Structure 1
């Protein structure tokens, strides 16, 4: 058995809580983009106070995914599924709207799409964390989730 450093003990102890905060912030920011495009709030579509016409492809559908997916991820309900769909929509946005103009996201204006895509993909694999409606309604589904945040002993082979 190896002793852990104080920094490792601290980060392991708070990992589930920080993961929940990460999920909440990412979901909130994503939902704000959807609300902006659908309702013209927070500056509206493209910062011009406009809304995306209902049913228009792909803008309106993307905005609905952003609003609904963002809210679901933010509250932690159906987190993995909502994050998977949200990640896919951002990958589509990146490759359809940005990647054709330049190689790097910094050059083609796709940083936000790329960051949201990878953040949601991370949430697909990590799950919602401890502060979520998924956990409240369904509890920890696997033994690994029940002990989240506590260091585990390496298994004997």
Structure 2
């Protein structure tokens, strides 16, 4: 079997895995910001209605929806915007270079979520299950 056919066969499942892992990673940031678990020093003073707290709510709820594959395109689009906002508010003022401003992860999340908004959630998720029902 050639590599192109193998890649084409695996692509939909890998898209679902990318969606799930992205949601899980965002979800963990929401849990750390709002529930202080695990303890992360930079999130220790976050309150629910602060800028970080509201971002945590987005990450918790929408990251969970992304994991489940529910309304993937709109959820991923909103999360992409949140990550762009996070980069320009928190990281870009520190330095133009993402490596120096610790903004690499925000940029990566932004563009992975933008890709998911365009590509959808793949075949493994609640949205795909709902579409398969007669």
Task: Give the aligned partner of residue 58 of structure 2.
Answer: 65
Shift of the 130–9 alpha-carbon distance from structure 1 to 2, 3 Å rule, reads: same
CA RMSD of aligned residues (A): 1.6
Rounded to whole Å, the distance in 1 between the matches of 2:10 and 2:41 is 37
Q: How does 1:4-153 map to 2 (within 5 A)?
A: 6-44=2-40, 46=42, 50=44, 52-56=46-50, 58-139=51-132
**Which structure has the highest helix share of the two?**
2
Return the TM-score normalized by structure 2: 0.93
Map Cα deviations across residues 54-97 of structure 1 (whole Å, 9 max, x no partner): 211x1111000011111111110011111111110110000011
Rounded to whole Å, the distance in 2 between the matches of 1:97 and 1:128 is 29
Paired residues in the alignment total 133
Gaps (5+ residues) in structure 2?
none
Return the TM-score normalized by structure 1: 0.80
| TM-superposed deviation, 1:30 | 0.5
Q: Secondary structure at the match of 2:118?
A: helix
| TM-superposed deviation, 1:51 | 5.4
Shift of the 63–76 alpha-carbon distance from structure 1 to 2, 3 Å rule, reads: same
Which stretch has the larger CA shift, 98-107 or 127-136?
98-107
Q: Secondary structure at the match of 1:59?
A: helix
